Chain A
Amino acid sequence: MDPRILRESLETVLAMDDKFPRRFYEILFERHPQVSSLFVRSSAGAQQKMFAQKLCAIVDHVEDAEWMTRELERMRVAHDEYGVTAEMFPWVGDALLDTLREALGSGFTAEVEQSWRVAYARLTSTLLKER
């Protein structure tokens, strides 16, 4: 997993107006309509911004172990409260990868895909860690 590849690819898709986070939720809700009912506290636009910004912050801080521990613990607690369960993680992971693939086109190389798969797997295992 190469943090530079994560950053480069995310910066590229984020520079494309607000399409990236919007498309991500579109894909997720299309495939798993049942999760959309968990997203009630924030407007779609705000949720999209918060998601993009958090994802970006995570990618910016992958090498910062202290930040990651602190932030992911906060996220774990929050997502628990939102009613997020383990089975939903691959749904989100697949939607994320497919959104990146769609947005990057030929820029979504095997290397980019691999970096995102590894990063998301690590994130999932931290967020689902036994407490």
Chain B
Amino acid sequence: MRTESTASEISLPWERPRNVFEARALHLVLAWSLDEPDRLGEAIPIRDAVCVGRGGALADDPAPRGQPFRMRPGTTRSCSPIASARISRLHLVVSPTGNGTAEIRSVGRAVMRVNGRACTSAEVRAGDVVEIHNAAVFLVTERPLQLPVVDEELTRFAFGAPDRFGVVGEGEAAWEMRSALAFAASTDRHVLLLGESGAGKELAARTIHGLSSRHAKSLVSRNAATMPESLLDAELFGNVKNYPNPGMPERLGLIGEADGSTLFLDEIGDLPEAHQVHLLRVLDSDGEYQRLGESKVRRSSFRLVAATNRPLEALKHDFLARFTHRVNIHGLGDRRDDIPLLLATLLKRTATRNGAIAAKFFERRGGEIAEPRLAPDLVARLLRHTFTHHVRELDRLLWLAIGSAPADYIGLTPAVEAELNDSEESATVVAPTELDRDAIVKALAENGRSPSKAAKALGLKNRYVLLRLLKKHGLSAASEDGEGEAS
């Protein structure tokens, strides 16, 4: 007999369950790995308690193994178990608390650090950084378990690599942006890109242009803030020779140059109101414009992609209204999980262009340039830094690290450290349980009982801090027995 059910039969699109993309969870995203540097960006979802360790499940695991995934819109590809030799077979046990945090416990050999502090257990939340000493760095992120589907064409590039327009990122924000740019590209309407400087607005404009029907012609790109005000109209609309001033060369004008193509105007918020009005007039008259000193009316069919890092009030209301699409270009604060991939891309680009840097800072495998020697503490600190100039700033910090490197690896030098802030208080409440006795005993045993090395492994400032802690716990650095008890 048929039941009179309606709920399950409704097939109207807006009635379908939407929760597939709404289910979210904390994830551990691999940000650095000594042994498996090609696995950056893989994410282990923490929906229920999971074990993290080398290899497959063990008989006495307290929970199922956390599965690393490469998450892409529409697909999540499961990856092989962690194979890093320095991670214990059972290293971390991570359980969601239900309050948007997870309890993380370290039972492995190498010391765990949360936001730089050694501990054996901690409550972590999105933005926190979990290190396994000299083995791996994970960023805790909160993201959906599945990314909304995008046009398959957009996904045709290697995981973690730059896409064909140079945009790097596999996180939720990066894919949301790619999807929004692709939609804008398909419509031929004017687009306003919103984002802080250094976030990648030019790449976004290139993406729109490259995906649009206008891609055969080259993009015309200009920064409004760098155009002298006296020449603005001439720059935009062009001028005949010797007009308005004798000796002025003929200009086609950006509008004329962009005929059949896309005009990208960065920092449009810096365009004085009068010039916004002039531009608006062209947009309203379907591309009709006049060169300075010429009575002939010309027409240019161009699409305007403008960008600004200013509040929208800096734009005249009716000018603003001409932009059908507004796309947010996220800063690094919204896409921390992409920082490791950006670092890898920037470093790789540097190595291919600069042989000396490649020779000094990169490993070679089977005759090929391989991964950079990049210190985990630098990555961990960059993941916690509050960026103001985003990708541009990351690039600058990387060069600073390279330039100030005292040895053959790229690390957290005093020069870099001076530029970094730690978002510790602003971000999240992490409560690495007070550095406990076990962690100290373990660190000493693993570092040949050297207080300086053990202090470093524990993330302490110096060995004196460790010596104080030893005293507090009634331990001694020098004693030879496994426990390190003071007699």
Binding site for B on A (CB under 8 A): 7, 10-12, 14-18, 41-43, 45-46, 49-50, 52-53, 55-57, 60
Q: Which of A12, A43, A53 touches B364 (beta carbons < 8 Å)?
A: A43
Report the number of A-B residue pairs with Cβ-Cβ less than 8 Å.
64
Q: A45 with B363: in contact, given A7-B89, A53-B85, A56-B85 (CB under 8 Å)?
A: yes
Complex Cα spacing A16 to B445, Å: 9
Q: Which of B85, B86, B370, B448 touches A46 (beta carbons < 8 Å)?
A: B370
Q: Which of A11, A16, A46, A52 touches B447 (beta carbons < 8 Å)?
A: A16
Q: Which of A16, A42, A43 touches B448 (beta carbons < 8 Å)?
A: A16
Whole-angstrom distance between the Cβ of B91 and the nearest chain A Cβ: 10
Whole-angstrom distance between the Cβ of B53 and the nearest chain A Cβ: 11
Asked if B325 lies at the interface with its beta carbon under 8 angstroms from chain A, I say: no
B365 touches A15 (CB 8 A): no
Whole-angstrom distance between the Cβ of A35 and the nearest chain B Cβ: 18
B83 touches A42 (CB 8 A): no
Whole-angstrom distance between the Cβ of A49 and the nearest chain B Cβ: 6
A41 touches B89 (CB 8 A): no
Q: Which 6 A-B pairs have the closest CB atoms?
A: A56-B85, A46-B363, A15-B109, A43-B364, A15-B110, A43-B363
Complex Cα spacing A45 to B134, Å: 14
Asked if B55 lies at the interface with its beta carbon under 8 angstroms from chain A, I say: yes
Interface size on B, residues (CB 8 A): 27
What residues on B are CB-neighbors of A16 within 8 Å? 446-448
Complex Cα spacing A22 to B36, Å: 18
B88 touches A11 (CB 8 A): yes
Complex Cα spacing A57 to B370, Å: 21
Q: A41 with B35: in contact, given A16-B446, A16-B448, A57-B83 (CB under 8 Å)?
A: no
Asked if B17 lies at the interface with its beta carbon under 8 angstroms from chain A, I say: no
B88 touches A41 (CB 8 A): no
Whole-angstrom distance between the Cβ of A124 and the nearest chain B Cβ: 21
Q: Which of B363-400 contact A (CB under 8 A)?
A: 363-367, 370-371, 373
Asked if B54 lies at the interface with its beta carbon under 8 angstroms from chain A, I say: yes
Q: Mark B89-128, 1 if CB is under 8 A from A, else 0.
A: 1000000000000000000011000000000000000000
Whole-angstrom distance between the Cβ of B476 and the nearest chain A Cβ: 17
Complex Cα spacing A42 to B55, Å: 26
Asked if B34 lies at the interface with its beta carbon under 8 angstroms from chain A, I say: yes
Whole-angstrom distance between the Cβ of A74 and the nearest chain B Cβ: 14
What residues on B are CB-neighbors of A53 within 8 Å? 35, 83-85
Tell me the nearest residue of chain B to A15, going by C-beta: B109
What residues on B are CB-neighbors of A45 within 8 Å? 363, 373
Q: Name 10 A/B residue pairs within 8 A (Cβ), A-sorted.
A: A15-B88, A16-B447, A17-B453, A41-B367, A42-B363, A42-B364, A53-B35, A56-B54, A57-B83, A60-B55
Complex Cα spacing A12 to B373, Å: 23
What residues on A are CB-neighbors of B35 within 8 Å? 49, 52-53
Q: Which of A11, A12, A17, A60 touches B134 (beta carbons < 8 Å)?
A: A17
What residues on A are CB-neighbors of B88 within 8 Å? 11, 15
Whole-angstrom distance between the Cβ of B89 and the nearest chain A Cβ: 7
Q: A15 with B86: in contact, given A46-B364, A46-B365 (CB under 8 Å)?
A: yes
Complex Cα spacing A14 to B362, Å: 22
Tell me the nearest residue of chain B to A44, going by C-beta: B363
Q: A49 with B366: in contact, given A14-B86, A18-B134, A60-B55 (CB under 8 Å)?
A: no
What residues on A are CB-neighbors of B364 within 8 Å? 41-43, 46
What residues on A are CB-neighbors of B110 within 8 Å? 15
Tell me the nearest residue of chain B to A60, going by C-beta: B55
What residues on B are CB-neighbors of A18 within 8 Å? 34, 134
Complex Cα spacing A11 to B88, Å: 7
Whole-angstrom distance between the Cβ of B377 and the nearest chain A Cβ: 13
Complex Cα spacing A43 to B366, Å: 9
Complex Cα spacing A50 to B84, Å: 10
Tell me the nearest residue of chain A to B35, going by C-beta: A53
B55 touches A41 (CB 8 A): no
Complex Cα spacing A15 to B364, Å: 23
Most chain A beta carbons < 10 A, residue from B34, B55, B364, B448? B364
A14 touches B363 (CB 8 A): no
Given A17-B447, A53-B85; 19 other pairs, CB 8 A cutoff: A7-B89, A14-B109, A15-B109, A16-B446, A17-B453, A18-B134, A41-B365, A42-B363, A42-B366, A42-B367, A43-B363, A46-B370, A46-B371, A49-B34, A52-B85, A53-B83, A53-B84, A56-B83, A57-B85
What residues on A are CB-neighbors of B55 within 8 Å? 60
What residues on A are CB-neighbors of B363 within 8 Å? 42-43, 45-46, 49
Complex Cα spacing A8 to B90, Å: 12
B365 touches A50 (CB 8 A): yes
What residues on A are CB-neighbors of B83 within 8 Å? 53, 56-57
Complex Cα spacing A7 to B363, Å: 27
Complex Cα spacing A46 to B35, Å: 9
Whole-angstrom distance between the Cβ of B83 and the nearest chain A Cβ: 7
Complex Cα spacing A23 to B362, Å: 21
Tell me the nearest residue of chain B to A50, going by C-beta: B365
